[in-house]
Structure 1
């Protein structure tokens, strides 16, 4: 391949464009991954807590809640606790499945890795410590790992 400065610059520009696309992807998907993970963990924990009271406290627990909330029947306490536990469990299961069905965590990790690799490649290329042919091969290897990342439209 041509070692001319314009060839090196062209590859450098491509690297920058891919980095921009990867950073844009990470900016969208990291918060989504974190939100789904938090919903899953918090929903599961709260569902467990809602069922732990009656499980450990028995009728004394439900009667105490009945008195606190001035309910006529302790079965209302059971129904409300069970309904809330079911809703939280469903939310946690959905969040987990949405994250897993799209391999969100794996994709975000791959994008983070490629972003770091492209940054290193860009630095190496900029300082002339790598031949353009070698840099192009590395670039192709790196971007193949994030084929799911769409290019950012030029502004």
Structure 2
């Protein structure tokens, strides 16, 4: 019986170590995902605003901006607005594509799910609610969902 208790303890330590790695991953990935999403939304909105003024206001809008900024040539107003719209639109597109190419949303969701599953497994191991063989199988199933999170050796 002592061997099983030792193996159960080793598995518990491995679960705790994996959960720590998942928490560290989530601590880095969530803010990055949020920054990219915010940049995408804000960039798209600014690009729309930069093009909406001239599109809806026409020459009167351009004349107002030209007078407010003291610009000599009305074409400069159009150029500046179009350039700003272009730059923020490109930034929004890059942010969107970076997020999608790295599947940050999917990875964060998978890591959160795995962390919750491992928390349940940890509790069942702690209270002896699960045969060891079943616990090992569940551990393997759960961590297979997050191959992008490194596995560290348990402390001890």
Distance 1:153 1:30, change over 3 A: farther
What is aligned with 1:66? 66
Alignment of 1:21-40 (within 5 A): 21-40=21-40
Alignment of 1:1-155 (within 5 A): 4-152=4-152
Q: Which runs of 5+ in 1 are unaligned?
A: none
Does the Cα contact within 8 Å between 1:39 and 1:92 map onto a contact in 2?
yes
Tell me, in whole angstroms, the C-alpha distance in 2 between the residues paired with 1:72 and 1:21: 59
Residue 4 of structure 1 deviates from its aligned partner by 2.1
Displacement over 4 Å in runs of 4+: 152-155
Tell me, in whole angstroms, the C-alpha distance in 2 between the residues paired with 1:3 and 1:142: 24
RMSD of aligned Cα (Å):
1.5
Q: Which moved more, 1:145-154 or 1:9-18?
A: 145-154
Does the Cα contact within 8 Å between 1:20 and 1:152 map onto a contact in 2?
no
Does the Cα contact within 8 Å between 1:12 and 1:125 map onto a contact in 2?
yes
Q: Which runs of 5+ in 2 are unaligned?
A: none
Residue 137 of structure 1 deviates from its aligned partner by 0.6
Query: Alpha-carbon deviations, 1:66-120, whole Å to 9, x = none?
Result: 0001111111110000000000000000000111111111011100100111011
- Give the alignment's TM-score, normalised by structure 1: 0.95
Tell me, in whole angstroms, the C-alpha distance in 1 between the residues paired with 2:153 and 2:91: 35
Tell me, in whole angstroms, the C-alpha distance in 2 between the residues paired with 1:125 and 1:3: 15
Residue 151 of structure 1 deviates from its aligned partner by 2.6
Aligned length: 154
SS of 1:4's equivalent in the other structure is helix
- Give the alignment's TM-score, normalised by structure 2: 0.94
